[in-house]
Amino acid sequence: MHSLQQLTFLHRYAQLGSDFSSEVYPTPLPAPYLVSFNAAAARLLDLDSEAADRPDFAEHFCGNRIPPNARPLAMLYAGHQFGHFVSQLGDGRAILLGEICNAAGQFWEVQLKGAGATPYSRRGDGRAVLRSSIREYLCSEAMHGLGIPTSRALCIVGSDATVYRESAETAAVLTRLAPSHVRFGSFEVFFYRGQFEQVQTLADFVIENHYAEFANATDKYRLLLREITRSTAHLMAHWQAVGFCHGVMNTDNMSILGLTLDYGPFGFMENFNAGYICNHSDPQARYAYDQQPQIGLWNLSALAHALSKLIDETQRDEILEGYAAIYYEKYAALMGAKLGLKNPSISDLALITSWLQLLQNSQLDYTNTWRSLSNFSIASNAENHWLRNQFIDRAAFDEWAANYRARLHAEHSNDSERKVRMDAVNPKYILRNYLAQIAIERAEQQRDFSEVNRLLALLSKPFDEQPDMQNYAAPPPESARQIVVSCSS
Ligand code: AMP
Ligand code: MG
């Protein structure tokens, strides 16, 4: 384990040169204080958990003090935002310190999000507010707890400095970790400028550092696109299965490692609604829940186009045409596991779809209804009354239950064994907006961060019963159902 002083940064991305990033130092933040520290993420850096007790910890993780061997920079990228190409974005408020190679040989980039303006800030102030930092912090760790690929979060440092969004809020810096923050838009920026050499340099960089297994293949660029397609399709299946809505699936927010990246106005579905829109600033419903898988493909097409000098058209098309099959296979596997099936397959999609239709028609809580399905009895209809009674259309439920029962019989399913399997994949706890909101209000109004820490601990084990935390599994109270989440963060 290392102390803060012993962290040694490497600079592989910086070595790509000034076409790819801009050197920039964080803007000091007045009187920073630690909001929350995540010991699990610290272990990824081999960072001693006592590091957070040091009086200067907050100074380091808001960017006021830069470790001697850090080389702070902002990464350049472009992106398709809501379908329209924006030729230059880049890290407008995130500053990369470098990467840490831990004892296990894993590389983690360390980024300070909200650390001040960069050459890519456009009209932004380079800051992040405490509210959105808490949301990203909790959600990225919740996703990790759910087994979904994601960036991680080490800590939040706050300050009383005012930041103006729809109203005056306070500033915070989130320390984000990911093996790579390269996005689809990192390729697009060079392609649309006609800088094809840089596209290739970046592709080589990504392959060498993140897809080393095919670094020597003659068709390595094709394999790169194929792998990003696979991991993106899998990520979409994971999001759908857990009812997660990202909210801003622009190509600049799409990770080349298939990680959930850039948490903004995300939301976990509560009452099931296939058309759910979590982002108040998306009136066209471009990024609604049921659009996500096809937007994943749209974004991959944009990436493939940016790689068109490296991979011929037939091969690009072939890869993109394979997306749907990869997606559906993973989706069926994840949803079938949620149903407790031992060998789920594409042929179970009808059973899955009809179950979702039942949830939608009865406006049932997505997470809790799945969780309660693990108590389904094959033998006795009578024992399923508690479940049946939740549905408005009982006849429709009976019809579905008969099909489910037949499917379970066919694989000789055993109730108690199935319950264990289902409880391991159907979470009891998710980051509900109202839970995040309570933690945010306490933090903002009372500088009380205990609720942030409580949720962090809760959501790191989302499948465990955690008997004294039962209240946190409750659907939102009526008054909190309409919490509006906008893009502003
Ligand atoms: P997003 O969709 O939130 O991931 O952000 C889109 C782009 O806007 C990225 O280039 C961000 O770095 C930039 N951005 C967002 N908020 C700010 C801000 N407050 N200051 C500067 N740049 C920002
Ligand atoms: Mg972004």
pLDDT for the residue 212: 97
Q: 183: Cβ below 6 Å to ligand 1?
A: no
pLDDT for the residue 213: 96
Distance 197 CA to ligand 1 centre (A): 27
Name the residue at shortest CA distance from atom 8 of ligand 1: 92
pLDDT for the residue 5: 82
pLDDT, tens only, 300-324: 999 999 999 999 999 999 999 999 9
Distance 482 CA to ligand 1 centre (A): 25
Closest-approaching ligand to the CA atom of 254: 2
C-alpha span between 83 and 97 (Å, rounded): 31
Distance 488 CA to ligand 1 centre (A): 9
pLDDT for the residue 383: 87
Q: Which atom from ligand 1 is nearest to the alpha carbon of 94?
A: 12
State the pLDDT confidence band at 282, using cuts at 50, 70 and 90: very high
pLDDT for the residue 324: 98
Residue 77 has pLDDT above 80, yes or no: yes
pLDDT for the residue 6: 86
Query: Mutation test of ligand 1: which of 93, 287, 487 has the most ligand atoms closer than 8 Å to its C-beta?
Result: 93
Q: Which atom from ligand 1 is nearest to the alpha carbon of 91?
A: 12
* Mean local confidence (pLDDT), 342-368: 98
* Mean local confidence (pLDDT), 441-451: 97
Closest-approaching ligand to the CA atom of 132: 1
Q: 127: Cβ below 6 Å to ligand 1?
A: yes
Name the residue at shortest CA distance from atom 11 of ligand 1: 92
Q: Which atom from ligand 1 is nearest to the alpha carbon of 81?
A: 2
* Mean local confidence (pLDDT), 466-481: 92
pTM over 0.95: yes
* Mean local confidence (pLDDT), 213-218: 96
Q: 265: Cβ below 6 Å to ligand 1?
A: no
Domain ranges of the chain: 4-181, 194-426
pLDDT for the residue 410: 96
Q: 357: Cβ below 6 Å to ligand 1?
A: no
Q: Which atom from ligand 1 is nearest to the alpha carbon of 127?
A: 19
Q: 91: Cβ below 6 Å to ligand 1?
A: yes
Query: Mutation test of ligand 1: which of 113, 135, 252 has the most ligand atoms closer than 8 Å to its C-beta?
Result: 252
Q: 90: Cβ below 6 Å to ligand 1?
A: yes
| Cβ neighbours of residue 478 closer than 8 Å, sequence gap 6 or more | none
Distance 433 CA to ligand 1 centre (A): 22
Name the residue at shortest CA distance from atom 7 of ligand 1: 89
Q: 251: Cβ below 6 Å to ligand 1?
A: no
Distance 248 CA to ligand 2 centre (A): 8
Distance 98 CA to ligand 1 centre (A): 20
Q: 181: Cβ below 6 Å to ligand 1?
A: no
Residue 343 has pLDDT above 90, yes or no: yes
Distance 394 CA to ligand 1 centre (A): 48
Q: Which atom from ligand 1 is nearest to the alpha carbon of 252?
A: 4
Q: 151: Cβ below 6 Å to ligand 1?
A: no
Q: Which atom from ligand 1 is nearest to the alpha carbon of 163?
A: 19
pLDDT for the residue 57: 96
Q: 253: Cβ below 6 Å to ligand 1?
A: yes
pLDDT, tens only, 358-396: 999 999 999 999 999 999 999 988 889 999 999 999 999
Distance 277 CA to ligand 2 centre (A): 18
Q: 124: Cβ below 6 Å to ligand 1?
A: yes
Q: 282: Cβ below 6 Å to ligand 1?
A: no
pLDDT for the residue 413: 98
Question: Active-site residues: which are they?
Answer: 252
Closest-approaching ligand to the CA atom of 91: 1
